[in-house]
Amino acid sequence: MSSYLDFSLNGKVALVTGASYGIGFAIASAFAQAGATICFNDIKQELVDKGVAAYKEAGIEAHGYVCDVTNEEQVNAMTAQIEKEVGVIDILVNNAGIIKRIPMCDMTAAEFRQVIDVDLNAPFIVSKAVIPGMIKKGHGKIINICSMMSELGRETVSAYASAKGGLKMLTRNICSEYGEYNIQCNGIGPGYIETPQTAPLRELQEDGSRHPFDQFIVGRTPAARWLKPEELTGPAVFLASEASNAVNGHILYVDGGILAYIGKQPN
């Protein structure tokens, strides 16, 4: 098979941060189906244990590690442990993230810094930890989970949008700085995804009507629906595979068309 059509991840070691559940879990599971060995972290042992159990139930043997990705010492220790126990990391997905929906003038500087720390500093720290191994190995794939908030603003998400906008540019800078070492760094920008965290926003109201935010998202999306985590997996496998070797510094928005759409004209 031509390498330009090679979507296999056989023999690859993939680290997906914060992948005990949700988007990270879906991406890691797809990597496993494509042949990769899966490593993931979470901040608490109980979350790691739940993640390992969920992967096992899906028929996947995943390696879980307790690690705070904002702590450089912990990240370096985890990276060294993975290299010793599993192998040098070929694929990194910077998935771990948080959001605080607080109006800007009500948000403290400490709250703002926390979001920046998890959503922007952590991808820098983890990428920095794995890049030397990728250089020695002669290849590497880094995928940053960006957001439509890399491009758009909205009420109450000043910290999140700032972090994701910064992550978009970190993606492009890693491409610029390490592309010559056959390392590709790209981003995926999810749209609004059906996850346990968004479930309350999709529940019917007592009168049978849709939640106002649900109505807003469906009306704002050309696909006219929320997306499923699994719909991110095809793009993720592509960006992790040899088929994407010429794709670098790109943000692939998997958003059902939101960024292309100005919205419906009022009746």
Catalytic residues: 160
- Give which of 223, 222, 228, 226 is closest to 213, Cα–Cα: 226
Tokens 């696909």 appear where?
Answer: 223
CA dist 69 and 143 (Å) reads 15
CB crowding 141-166: b at 16 or more within 10 Å, else e: bbbbbbbbbbbeeeeebbbbbbbbbb
β-bridge mates for residue 253, sequence order: 189
- Give which of 206, 62, 41, 185 is closest to 124, Cα–Cα: 185
DSSP 8-state code for residue 147:
-
Please enumerate in sequence order all residues whose Cβ is within 8 A of that of 250, keeping only pairs 6 or more positions apart, or say none. Answer: 186, 187
β-bridge mates for residue 189, sequence order: 253
